Amino acid sequence: MTAAPEPHWLSSPEMAAWLNLTQLLMLLPSALDRQLRDDAGIPHAYYQILATLSGAPGRAMRMTDLARLVGTTTSRLSHAVASLEQRGWMTRRACAFDKRGQIATLTDEGMAVLAAAAPGHVAEVRRLIFDHLSEAEIDQLRAITGKILPAVTA
């Protein structure tokens, strides 16, 4: 029986970068969620759904596409959308070209909630991330995340 190859361990700089990244990935969602709950009374997940729909043509999108863009499962999205529908911020209808699919649409009331929440959310994103970076570092962050995202979403 052949021994398994030795793992390609992280170098010290890689380990330091990895630990910073994992800590950021754990803490940032909680910080954004806290700000939105405190200031707008909605969780970050709901904000992401509303914001994603607001940029879609007709403020509408297939549920499967919406789930992919906000980084959740269709089951979790369905539960969130049910709550957003109860609040009058979204509607769902059957997809005309796929009988199994549904189209989620942002209502005018949902758009108003998003518009009210957005200034505080953007200020928090600036405070937590962009106020600490130069323009060159922002370009680097965009380039780095652009290289990593395809591997994570594959």
Cβ within 8 Å of residue 93, ≥6 positions away: 102, 103, 105
Q: Distance (Å, rounded) from C-alpha 152 to C-alpha 154? A: 6
Range of the domain at 74: 35-153
Whether the Cβ atoms of residue 31 and residue 124 lie closer than 8 Å to each other: yes
Return the pLDDT at 80: 95
Q: What are phi and psi of 92, to 5 degrees?
A: -130, 145
Here the CATH number for the domain that contains residue 52 is 1.10.10.10
**pLDDT tens for the chain, residues 1 to 154:** 778 888 999 999 999 999 999 999 999 999 999 999 999 999 999 999 999 999 999 999 999 999 999 989 989 999 999 999 999 999 999 988 777 889 999 999 999 999 999 999 999 999 999 999 999 999 999 999 999 989 988 7
Neighbours of 79 (CB within 10 A): 12
Give me the number of domains the chain comprises: 1
Establish if 6 belongs to a structural domain. Answer: no
Identify the DSSP state of 129. T
Identify the DSSP state of 55. T
Neighbours of 99 (CB within 10 A): 7
Return the pLDDT at 126: 97
pTM of the complete model: 0.86
Return the pLDDT at 13: 97
Q: Distance (Å, rounded) from C-alpha 12 to C-alpha 18? A: 10
Return the pLDDT at 98: 76
Establish if 21 belongs to a structural domain. Answer: no
Establish if 18 belongs to a structural domain. Answer: no
